[in-house]
Amino acid sequence: MPAPAPDDAFFMRRALDLAALGLGHARPGAIVGCVVVGPEGDIIGEGWYERYGGPHAEVNALAAVRQPELLPQSRVFVTLEPCAHHGQTPPCADLLIEKRVGEVIVCHDDPFTLVAGRGLAKLRAAGIPVQTGLLAEEGRWLNRRFLTFHEKKRPYLVLKWAESADGFLAGPHFQPVQISGPQAGLLTHQWRTQEAAILVGTRTALHDNPRLSARDWPGPQPTRLVIDKNLALPPTHHVLDGSQPTVVYTLRERAATPNLTFVKLPGTAVSADWLPAMLADLHERGIQSVLVEGGPTVLGALLAADTWDEIRIFRSPRRLERGIAAPRLGLRGWQSQEKVGEDDLFIWIKD
């Protein structure tokens, strides 16, 4: 008995899988995949947005079609509304019209102010049938960083920490202690390539002296973000070495140096005074997402303000008996749990 023919959801899922290949590389743009299905119901071209400033997914997919004469009878599945403006590249809606494609099926619309329905309107005005909303929930989840950035005007925030079995995230007096195992460490480095920036507070930067880089996983390096209200960090610390772009949020003035920018924030403490200003500055800088790796003051302030999108916690089987307590969560939202080496990974997604 022959296998059943693929349905529309099959082709859109393929486009979503392709889009995911651009994670970490397409920012601050969206991650987008595109599949061209020929008149016989088979895939004749596909592509994704491989890097920011490069050809869009639709351009790559159409370029892969070896028989362009089939395009007027073909259907194009794309995970995000085709752009309608001249940005880094020409409008994809214009290209689809030029190629006279038979139909365009879109996962979800684009909230970016220069698109926001214009791409769909342009296609329809040219007489190309358009469907929208196929696997929209899955598409919005995949592009949650881009959508949060444009809809909420702030970066997508992922809070992450490791805690011992008895609820500590550092030793007494913030003494650095290895809590999670090597597999959790490797996964953390992968996460660092997926987010645009990493944020830590003064104590974490001072006591742990972290590099805040993705050394153990291939991919783009994140921008380093440090809160150092009194500029107490020694210039010998890794985060001030100028090896990668770094922004220091402080209450004092200091001139920038290569790869090192100082931003003066309002207020007198890590509190609600500085949080909106810092998030607004990150949005202005085009920082699409932030992995917040501590410490307790920064994590506590974001939790108290209910300003977060995901929480990822590695819980180790190791006990410390005493130390700095991890935040205590009484949260609503979706939660998952999985094993990562010797640790348990818990993930909360805000409702």
- Average confidence (pLDDT) over 161-179: 88
Q: Under 8 Å CB-to-CB from 41, ≥6 apart: which residues? A: 5, 6
Query: What tens digit of pLDDT does each residue of 73-130 get?
Result: 999 999 999 998 666 677 899 999 999 999 999 999 888 776 777 889 999 999 999 9
**Cα distance between residue 39 and residue 71, in whole Å:** 8
Query: What tens digit of pLDDT does each residue of 213-243 get?
Result: 999 899 899 999 999 989 999 999 999 999 9
Question: Where does the chain have alpha helices with state H?
Answer: 8-20, 57-63, 92-98, 118-125, 136-142, 144-151, 182-194, 202-208, 275-284, 296-304
One of 40, 46, 50, 58 is an active-site residue; which one? 58
Query: What tens digit of pLDDT does each residue of 128-147 get?
Result: 999 999 999 999 999 999 99
**Cα distance between residue 215 and residue 194, in whole Å:** 13
pLDDT at residue 1 in the model: 44
The angle at the Cα of 19, spanning 187 to 288, to the nearest 5 degrees, equals: 65
The CATH number given to 154-349 is 3.40.430.10
Residues of the chain with CATH 3.40.430.10: 154-349
- State yes or no: is 58 an active-site residue: yes
Instruction: Give the pLDDT band (50/70/90) at residue 25.
Output: very high
Residues of the chain with CATH 3.40.140.10: 8-149
**Cα distance between residue 312 and residue 345, in whole Å:** 7
According to DSSP, the β-strands at 75-80 and 33-37 are antiparallel
pLDDT at residue 22 in the model: 95
- Average confidence (pLDDT) over 19-36: 94
pLDDT at residue 111 in the model: 81
Q: Is the pLDDT of residue 5 over 70?
A: no
Round the average pLDDT of the chain to a whole number and report it: 91
Cis check for the bond before 28: say yes or no (omega within 30 of 0). yes
pLDDT at residue 127 in the model: 95
Q: Is the pLDDT of residue 3 over 60?
A: no
Q: Which residue has the higher pLDDT, 117 or 196?
A: 196
**Cα distance between residue 118 and residue 287, in whole Å:** 25
Nearest by Cα to 159 from 327, 332, 277: 327
- Average confidence (pLDDT) over 24-42: 94
28-32, 170-174, 231-235 — which is least confidently predicted? 170-174
Share of the chain above pLDDT 90, in %: 70
> Which CATH superfamily includes the segment(s) 8-149?
Cytidine Deaminase, domain 2 (3.40.140.10)
The whole-model pTM stands at 0.90
Whether 254 and 294 have beta carbons less than 8 Å apart is answered as: no
How many angstroms separate the Cα of 135 from the Cα of each of 2, 105, 141?
A: 26, 11, 10
Instruction: Give the pLDDT band (50/70/90) at residue 4.
Output: low
Q: Is the pLDDT of residue 318 over 90?
A: yes
Residue with tokens 């150092």: 228
Q: Within its chain, how far is the Cα of 172 from the centroid?
A: 33
Q: Within its chain, how far is the Cα of 70 from the centroid?
A: 36
